[in-house]
Structure 1
């Protein structure tokens, strides 16, 4: 379980590609806090640390995750959002994020609005039904509040702290991002059936 509060911007040091999937090697200041088998959210995707050495960890990304997330488009040198799992005694500053990506959206536009930046994403219809104005959403693992939603897209307003501390500060049109809708919305829909 995560909160969607990014703890570090990691750098993809190496990618090992095979038929069974991909192994990512990510450099991070968090490496000393990670143990073998720990979960690490990488751009919102919950991965398992398979090795830790020299300020980096590795994680295997299976084909299923490559199909359902934007991790397949990450290259060597890419910057990624990183978060370690929530501890029972930690404050919950974002919202409950599982690291189970529901789908991929695409940045439509990013427009400055005072000191903030409004980023609009084109999203699949099957996910938009869970997205509501002023509701929670995780975009590339970042806990955000939806500022607007219509039949094909949604927007978020990013404060300078988010722009500086996450990859969303460099969001450009056409960029794919991982989406995890609020799990509570999915449960409410199921109970309403």
Structure 2
């Protein structure tokens, strides 16, 4: 369980294919605090630490994960948003995030708001995921509030702190991002489908 409040920006040091899997080695200031078998969200994707070596650690993304997320598009030296699993009893500053990406989206527009930014994302509506105005959405692991919710798109407003301390500063038009839709909304939607 995560909160969507990014703890650190890691740097991709090595990407190694291993059959259908991808071993991802990340350098981070939190590496030495990690333990083998610990969960860490990478751009919102929950992955298990399998090796630690000094200021770097390695996780493995399996084919299922690579098919549903943007992790297969990572490049060495690129930055990735990192968050360790929340501790029981901590404040929930973001929202409930599982680290299970629902689908990807494409950045369609970035508007400079003179001190803040509006990012517009478009996603495949045929997968039946939904956003609601002022609801929660996780974009590359970042807990955000939905603005301008539509059937297959939404926007988010990014403050300077979030822009600098996450990989939002790297995003461009046509960048692919990971989306995790609000878990409470997913349960409500499913219950309504079962009633029909």
> Is the structural similarity TM-score above 0.5?
yes
User: TM-score under structure 2 normalisation?
Assistant: 0.95
Instruction: Show structure 2 runs of 5+ residues with no match.
Output: none
- Aligned residues: CA RMSD: 1.1
CA contact (8 A) 2:131 2:150 kept: no
SS at match of 1:11: strand
Task: Give the corresponding residue for 1:167.
Answer: 167
Task: Give the corresponding residue for 1:177.
Answer: 177
User: How far has the Cα of 1:149 moved from its partner?
Assistant: 1.6
SS at match of 1:188: helix
Where do residues 35-184 of structure 1 align in structure 2 (5 Å cutoff)?
Answer: 35-126=35-126, 129-184=129-184
CA contact (8 A) 1:3 1:94 kept: yes
User: How far has the Cα of 1:128 moved from its partner?
Assistant: 6.5
What's the CA shift string for 1:130-178, capped at 9, x where partnerless? 2011000000000000011223311000001110100012220010000
SS at match of 1:57: strand
User: How far has the Cα of 1:68 moved from its partner?
Assistant: 0.5
Q: Distance in 1 between matches of 2:111 and 2:174?
A: 14
Q: Distance in 2 between matches of 1:122 and 1:128?
A: 13
Q: Distance in 2 between matches of 1:158 and 1:114?
A: 11
Task: Give the corresponding residue for 2:13.
Answer: 13
CA contact (8 A) 1:20 1:62 kept: yes
After TM superposition, the structure 1 stretch with the greater mean CA deviation from structure 2, 40-49 or 168-177, is 168-177
Q: Distance in 1 between matches of 2:150 and 2:61?
A: 33
Q: Distance in 1 between matches of 2:132 and 2:114?
A: 24
Task: Give the corresponding residue for 2:22.
Answer: 22
User: How far has the Cα of 1:19 moved from its partner?
Assistant: 1.8
User: How far has the Cα of 1:127 moved from its partner?
Assistant: 5.4
CA contact (8 A) 1:133 1:147 kept: yes
What's the CA shift string for 1:73-107, capped at 9, x where partnerless? 00111100000000002110000000000000000
Q: Distance in 2 between matches of 1:126 and 1:145?
A: 22
